[in-house]
């Protein structure tokens, strides 16, 4: 992977030295549309259901202790810091990471990447840069959508089954949610975007063995990206709780 | 007084190993400007690998590859990319970008590497597609084209930047005789009209003799014979003779 990052950086530097754009904006916007707009329905759907389930199960437990009013704070803080970035990461690793790997893998198997490189275009810069930048910048945007959807899901079920009004839920969210919670979620999501993009592109460009190789690389890309995102999430949580309590 | 012919490409002692397998074992040859050198040899003999080295896609274990007197193996990435813009390659499987239509495929090197605007690029794309008689296929995807058409689009793309050297990897393999002849004619036309130098890798004898101004035979990683088509026809080299006669027998059997 270091090799891919080094080559991409070298090709970008080469382009900039020639006073040329390192990548085409239209390619970047095409990828952002795919990563962002294309993933919105799935992110909203999953987040609403997860927020709803989380509020419901937490509420039933807290009812036993008479502290059901803590549900809005618990749902909003945990969704903003943890569930939103993590679920967005998992959705993107499986939806976009798999697509990146399969696409680049098929291009390697068909000799397209060699052809682009042979023309002197710089295959890494041309193929990798818009993809990684798109997922890097769009993961935080999708995370915000996921967080809002999760809180709305929690708010809906709290009103319906836990007798918490929308107004009270909203006030509690606004009171308990701190800027540092939002920042923690956003910073993590940038990191997850970069991890997924790099793993997916690297796996795609390392494909060997035709169609079977593309399949193997795609599976491996999704598994590695999801595992790395979860591991990285835990590490980030430890760091944040230790240094920014 | 005759001017000394100018060398465009030269390989000196090029060796390539993959793990323990020796693919090229000291290849030496040179190509003068406006020559068409045909490299022949058995399948899996390293002919396509030779082109990969010339494009800088593979790095030889030893030896040097000179293009316009610059050693491609020692060039920095920016300089290698610069050199690549003077070399076009037509791949065995065409290697067109499958998600782009013919227009975008042919225009790709121009959009990425030149300062031309869309109108100028369109005009060059039209001109190149006209040359390969595929102007009507401009908006088609590679998957909608036949193998021969894909190779012709590949040739149009290779010519987009007006290269001095064009490398052809099995240009007529798998094509019917009419399409094969069309490609052969295009290669000769390029040399005659556009002063392009070409290296053609093939094991199709008819195609080889139709286009070659000089021939080389690669066997077990070495060039074992180099000469004019006429010298090849009358060679007493046992391996080359066997190769040529096997092809002649095959042709008679088909007839």
Q: Residue B247: which pLDDT band, with cuts at 50, 70 and 90? A: low
Q: What is the 3-state secondary structure (H, E, C) of chain A?
A: CHHHHHHHHHHHHHHHHCCCCCCCHHHHHHHHHHHCHHHHHHHHHHHHHHHHHHHHHHHHHHHCCCCHHHHHHHHHHHHHHHHHHHHHHHHHHHHHHHHHHHHHHHHHHCCHHHHHHHCCCCHHHHHHHHHHHHHHHHHHHHHHHHHHHHHHHHHHHHHHHCCCCHHHHHHHHHHHCCHHHHHHHHHHHHHHHHHHHHHHHHHHHCCCCHHHHHHHHHHHHHHHHHHHHHHHHHHHHHHHHHHCC
Residue in A14, A114, A121 closest to B77 by CB: A14
The answer to whether A17 contacts B78, with C-beta atoms less than 8 Å apart, is: yes
What's the total number of domains in chain A?
A: 1
Range of the domain at A179: 24-243
**A/B interface, count of CB pairs below 8 Å:** 62
Has residue A94 been placed in a domain? yes
Has residue B92 been placed in a domain? no
Q: Which residues pair with B11 in a beta bridge?
A: B29, B65
Q: Are residues B119 and B192 in the same domain?
A: no
The Cα–Cα gap between B164 and B46 comes to: 24
Question: Cα angle vertex A8, ends A4, A10, to 5°?
Answer: 120
Q: Residue A3: which pLDDT band, with cuts at 50, 70 and 90? A: confident
The answer to whether A115 contacts B85, with C-beta atoms less than 8 Å apart, is: no
Q: Are residues B43 and B60 in the same domain?
A: yes
| φ, ψ for residue B31, nearest 5 deg | -130, 125
Has residue A16 been placed in a domain? no
* pLDDT tens, residue by residue, A5-49: 888 888 888 888 888 888 889 999 999 998 888 899 999 999 999
ipTM of this complex: 0.87
Q: Are residues B8 and B82 in the same domain?
A: yes
* pLDDT tens, residue by residue, A159-199: 999 889 999 999 999 999 899 899 999 999 999 999 999 99
Has residue A153 been placed in a domain? yes
Q: Are residues B175 and B246 in the same domain?
A: yes
The Cα–Cα gap between B96 and A121 comes to: 14
Has residue A15 been placed in a domain? no
**Is A77 part of the contact surface with chain B (CB cutoff 8 Å)?**
no
Q: Are residues B172 and B255 in the same domain?
A: yes
The answer to whether A111 contacts B93, with C-beta atoms less than 8 Å apart, is: yes
The Cα–Cα gap between B221 and A109 comes to: 25
**Is A11 part of the contact surface with chain B (CB cutoff 8 Å)?**
yes
Q: Are residues B155 and B175 in the same domain?
A: no
Has residue B179 been placed in a domain? yes
pTM (predicted TM-score):
0.85
Has residue A13 been placed in a domain? no
The Cα–Cα gap between B159 and B152 comes to: 11
- Look up residue B163 and give its two tokens: 């290269």
- Look up residue B207 and give its two tokens: 């195609």
Has residue B158 been placed in a domain? yes
The alpha carbon of residue B243 is apart from the nearest alpha carbon of chain A, in Å, by 29
Has residue A213 been placed in a domain? yes
Residue in A106, A111, A126 closest to B112 by CB: A126
Q: Are residues B108 and B3 in the same domain?
A: no
Percentage, residues of chain A above pLDDT 90: 74
Q: Residue A229: which pLDDT band, with cuts at 50, 70 and 90? A: very high
Residue numbers of A between 89 and 118 with CB closer than 8 Å to B = 106-107, 110-112, 114-118
Q: Are residues B23 and B122 in the same domain?
A: no
Has residue B91 been placed in a domain? no
- Look up residue A99 and give its two tokens: 């697509």
Q: Are residues B11 and B33 in the same domain?
A: yes
**Of B114, B131, B162, which closes a domain?**
B162
Q: Residue B248: which pLDDT band, with cuts at 50, 70 and 90? A: low
The answer to whether B97 contacts A115, with C-beta atoms less than 8 Å apart, is: yes
Residue B201 contacts residue B90 (beta carbons within 8 Å) = no
Range of the domain at B119: 97-162
The Cα–Cα gap between A41 and B248 comes to: 64
Q: Which of A154, A223, A235, A151 minimizes the C-alpha distance to A187? A: A235
Residue A91 contacts residue A42 (beta carbons within 8 Å) = yes
- Look up residue B57 and give its two tokens: 């896609």
Q: Residue B240: which pLDDT band, with cuts at 50, 70 and 90? A: confident
CATH number of B192's domain: 3.40.50.300
**Is B60 part of the contact surface with chain A (CB cutoff 8 Å)?**
no
Q: Which of A40, A221, A29, A240 minimizes the C-alpha distance to A137? A: A29
What's the total number of domains in chain B?
A: 2
Residue numbers of B between 66 and 105 with CB closer than 8 Å to A = 77-78, 80-85, 87, 89, 91, 93, 95-98
Q: Are residues B220 and B239 in the same domain?
A: yes
Task: Name the more confident of A43 and B183.
Answer: A43
Q: Which residues pair with B197 in a beta bridge?
A: B165
Helix (H, G, I), strand (E, B) or coil at B154: helix
The answer to whether B95 contacts A111, with C-beta atoms less than 8 Å apart, is: yes
The Cα–Cα gap between B132 and B194 comes to: 14
Residue in A10, A24, A121 closest to B113 by CB: A121
Has residue A18 been placed in a domain? no
* Residue B99, Cβ density class (10 Å: 0-12 exposed, 13-18 middle, ≥19 buried): middle
**Of B126, B141, B162, which closes a domain?**
B162
Chain A contact set for B112 (CB, 8 A): 119, 121, 126
Checking if the pLDDT of B253 tops 60, the result is no
State residue B93's pLDDT score: 87
Q: Are residues B108 and B78 in the same domain?
A: no
Q: Are residues B188 and B247 in the same domain?
A: yes
* pLDDT tens, residue by residue, B43-68: 888 888 999 999 989 999 999 999 98
**Is A211 part of the contact surface with chain B (CB cutoff 8 Å)?**
no
| Residue B178 DSSP one-character state | H
Contact residues for B236 (Cβ-Cβ < 8 A; gap 6+): none
**Of B145, B162, B179, which closes a domain?**
B162
* pLDDT tens, residue by residue, A68-117: 999 999 999 999 999 999 999 999 999 999 999 999 999 999 999 999 99
Across A3-7, A42-46, B178-182, B233-237, which has the greatest mean pLDDT? A42-46
């Amino acid at each position: 992977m270091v090799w891919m990052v080094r080559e991409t950086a070298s090709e970008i530097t080469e382009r900039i030295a020639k006073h040329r754009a390192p990548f085409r904006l239209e390619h970047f916007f095409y990828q952002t549309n795919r990563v962002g707009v294309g993933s919105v329905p799935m992110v909203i759907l999953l987040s609403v259901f997860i927020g709803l389930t989380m509020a419901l199960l937490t509420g039933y437990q807290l009812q036993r202790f008479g502290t059901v009013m803590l549900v809005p704070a618990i749902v909003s803080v945990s969704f903003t810091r943890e569930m939103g970035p993590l679920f967005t990461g998992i959705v993107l690793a499986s939806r976009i990471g798999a697509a990146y790997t399969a696409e680049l893998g098929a291009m390697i198997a068909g000799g397209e990447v060699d052809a682009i490189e042979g023309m002197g275009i710089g295959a890494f810069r041309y193929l990798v840069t818009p993809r990684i930048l798109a997922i890097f910048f769009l993961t935080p945007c999708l995370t915000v959508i996921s967080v809002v959807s999760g809180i709305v899901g929690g708010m809906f079920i709290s009103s319906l089954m836990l007798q918490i009004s929308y107004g009270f839920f909203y006030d509690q969210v606004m009171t308990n949610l701190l800027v540092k919670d939002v920042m923690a979620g956003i910073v993590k999501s940038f990191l997850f975007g970069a991890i997924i993009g790099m793993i997916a592109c690297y796996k795609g460009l390392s494909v060997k063995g035709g169609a079977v190789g593309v399949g193997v690389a795609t599976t491996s890309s999704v598994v590695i990206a999801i595992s790395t995102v979860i591991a990285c999430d835990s590490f980030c949580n430890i760091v944040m709780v230790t240094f920014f309590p | 007084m005759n001017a000394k012919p100018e060398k465009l490409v030269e390989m000196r002692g090029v060796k390539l190993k993959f793990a323990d397998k020796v693919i090229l074992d000291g290849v030496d040859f040179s190509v003068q400007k406006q020559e068409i050198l045909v490299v022949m040899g058995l399948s899996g003999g390293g002919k396509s690998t030779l082109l990969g080295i010339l494009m800088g896609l593979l790095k030889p274990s030893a030896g040097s590859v000179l293009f316009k007197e610059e050693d491609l193996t020692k060039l920095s990435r920016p300089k290698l990319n610069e050199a690549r813009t003077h070399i076009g390659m037509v791949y065995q499987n065409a290697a067109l970008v499958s998600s782009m239509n013919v227009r975008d495929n042919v225009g790709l090197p121009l959009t990425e590497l030149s300062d031309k605007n869309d109108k100028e690029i369109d005009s060059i794309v039209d001109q190149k597609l006209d040359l390969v008689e595929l102007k009507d296929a401009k908006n088609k995807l590679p998957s909608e084209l036949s193998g021969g058409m894909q190779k012709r689009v590949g040739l149009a793309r290779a010519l987009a930047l007006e290269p001095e050297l064009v490398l052809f990897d099995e240009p007529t393999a798998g094509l019917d005789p009419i399409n094969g002849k069309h490609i052969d004619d295009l290669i000769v036309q390029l040399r005659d009209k556009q002063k392009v130098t070409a290296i053609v890798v093939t094991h199709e004898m008819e195609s080889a003799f139709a286009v070659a101004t000089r021939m080389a035979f690669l066997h077990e990683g070495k060039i074992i014979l180099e000469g004019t088509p006429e010298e090849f026809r009358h060679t007493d080299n046992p391996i080359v003779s066997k190769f040529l006669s096997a092809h002649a027998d095959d042709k008679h059997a088909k007839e």
